[in-house]
Amino acid sequence: MGLAWMAPAAWNSLEFPGLSIPLYQQSWDQIRLQFPLEKDRIYLNNGTFGPSPFPVLKAVQDSFDKTNRTGNYGNPGSGREKIAEFFGVKSTEISLTHNTTEGINIMAQGLPFQAGDEVIVTTHEHAGNAIPWLNRMSLDGIVLRVFEPKDTQEENFKAIKNLVSSRTKAIAIPHVTCTTGTVFPIRQISEFARKKGIWTAIDGAHGAGTFDLNLKDLGCDFYAGCFHKWMLGPNGSGFLYVRENLLDSLQAIYVGAKSEKSWVLNEHETSFGGYTDSAHRYDYGTQSTPLHEGVVAAVDFHQQIGKARIEARIRELNNYLFDGLSSIGNLEILTPKEQNSRLCVVTFRVQGKSLQEMTSSLGANRIRVRGIHEANLNAIRISTHIYNSFDELDRLFESVSQI
């Protein structure tokens, strides 16, 4: 029954046959066995999609089975407290979305901008962060002030400060860029912005599941993220963090059941009792209980390995990757060398080779990567997670050197 088509031997909760020890005690090779990754392919595109481990897949399938057998709709928000705890905030500060872009749209459409108000962004935005702000510009005449990401956190902080004016209302940048993996000093930027009365609206697509992330300590006002990348959860699941004292500053545009405190609609009275006193006001419409159960399982998976241990492993792989690619003579490394400015990505170009030539060559060697078209970089992005190995990266180096 259920997931019989998916390596049934793996469905032993968070254990694998022969490895009946807690995840936090397992080696990385043992943890790799928790994923249904093809053995003859090297998967290095976690920045687009993070394959889910078996416990997450099982949680989703079990929930689908239960829902369809019993007709019990379930409660998609039942794990909100656990999600909030994972990110170090209150459950009332978390809205459950379908992806990062939805959270960004809530920020971009809900903040009270007027024509001429300025929002700071980068030249390296993913379309999911660029288009919502460009849309608000088109609709209401806000001004986007744009800067090119630099090689150090100090330089990036300075670039942002240099763009701030009396009309600046928000800084809407990624925690980690989707292009070169540049890490911005969000805590420092948020502290500066708050003193200036400027909102910080962060694209956290590559921050959730990589850092040992505590959003309260990070200090930003708003943070949109997803669960299908570094969190290793199912597609179609995301979150938006809204600092609780800013709930009434961020207008809810799309609303539905549970967004409100009360409402009346009949022949004698029509009234709206206002929004619920939490970020739940931004939740609207039907959400998938099975996907939500997968998110909760993904959070458990991270917690049982250890958030700090996961970040340390991601950094270890990134350093090995950066050093290995840097040793290949005909490459241009676009990711910053400064360790604080990188975490989970290394992006490069092979001199004299087109993007098509680079991706085709690596694809022929069964290596899955992502081409970076954003900002006209025409480069290759390598993004590694805990299931990757040094041996896989050595094989990547060999393949890249032959392009």
Q: Contact 205/212 with Cβ under 8 angstroms?
A: no
* Cα 37 to Cα 266: distance, rounded to the nearest angstrom: 55
- Indicate if the pLDDT at residue 250 is higher than 70: yes
Q: Contact 100/238 with Cβ under 8 angstroms?
A: yes
- Indicate if the pLDDT at residue 223 is higher than 60: yes
DSSP 3-state of 202: strand
* Cα 131 to Cα 104: distance, rounded to the nearest angstrom: 10
Dump pLDDT digits (tens) for 326-354: 999 999 999 999 999 999 999 999 999 99
Confidence of residue 321 (pLDDT cuts 50, 70, 90): very high
Dump pLDDT digits (tens) for 189-216: 999 999 999 999 999 999 999 999 999 9
CA distances from 87 to 50, 91, 124 (A): 19, 10, 26
Q: Which residues pair with 145 in a beta bridge?
A: 120
**Enclosing H/E stretch for 383:** strand 379-383
Q: Contact 147/157 with Cβ under 8 angstroms?
A: no
Dump pLDDT digits (tens) for 271-308: 999 999 999 999 998 899 999 999 999 999 999 999 99
Confidence of residue 324 (pLDDT cuts 50, 70, 90): very high
Confidence of residue 73 (pLDDT cuts 50, 70, 90): confident
**What pLDDT does residue 5 have?**
38
Return residue ranges of the chain for CATH 3.40.640.10: 80-302
- Indicate if the pLDDT at residue 11 is higher than 80: no
Mean local confidence (pLDDT), 39-48: 96
Mean local confidence (pLDDT), 58-69: 95
**What pLDDT does residue 12 have?**
44
CATH number of 8-52+307-401: 3.90.1150.10
Q: Contact 259/252 with Cβ under 8 angstroms?
A: yes
- List CB contacts of 152: < 8 A, sequence separation 6 or more: 336, 338, 341
φ, ψ of residue 223 to 5 degrees: the values are: -150, 115
**Residue appearing with tokens 């990567």:** 369
**What pLDDT does residue 33 have?**
94
Q: Are strands 168-171 and 118-122 parallel, antiparallel or unpaired?
A: parallel
- Indicate if the pLDDT at residue 2 is higher than 50: no
- List CB contacts of 115: < 8 A, sequence separation 6 or more: 140, 141, 142
**Enclosing H/E stretch for 71:** none
Q: Which amino acid is at 387?
A: Y
Q: Contact 345/318 with Cβ under 8 angstroms?
A: yes
Domain 80-302 bears CATH identifier 3.40.640.10 = yes
H helices present in 71-206, as ranges:
80-86, 100-110, 127-140, 153-163, 186-196
Confidence of residue 142 (pLDDT cuts 50, 70, 90): very high
- Indicate if the pLDDT at residue 20 is higher than 80: no
Return residue ranges of the chain for CATH 3.90.1150.10: 8-52+307-401
**Enclosing H/E stretch for 227:** none
**What pLDDT does residue 22 have?**
81
- Indicate if the pLDDT at residue 3 is higher than 80: no
Helices then strands, each counted (H, E), the chain: 12, 15
Mean local confidence (pLDDT), 94-112: 98
Q: Are strands 42-43 and 367-368 parallel, antiparallel or unpaired?
A: parallel
Tokens of 311: 């970040």
**What pLDDT does residue 24 have?**
78
Average pLDDT of the chain?
A: 94
More confidently predicted of 13 and 271: 271
From start to end of 335-378, where are the E strands?
345-350, 367-368, 370-372
DSSP 3-state of 331: strand
Percent of the chain with pLDDT over 90: 91
* Cα 107 to Cα 132: distance, rounded to the nearest angstrom: 9
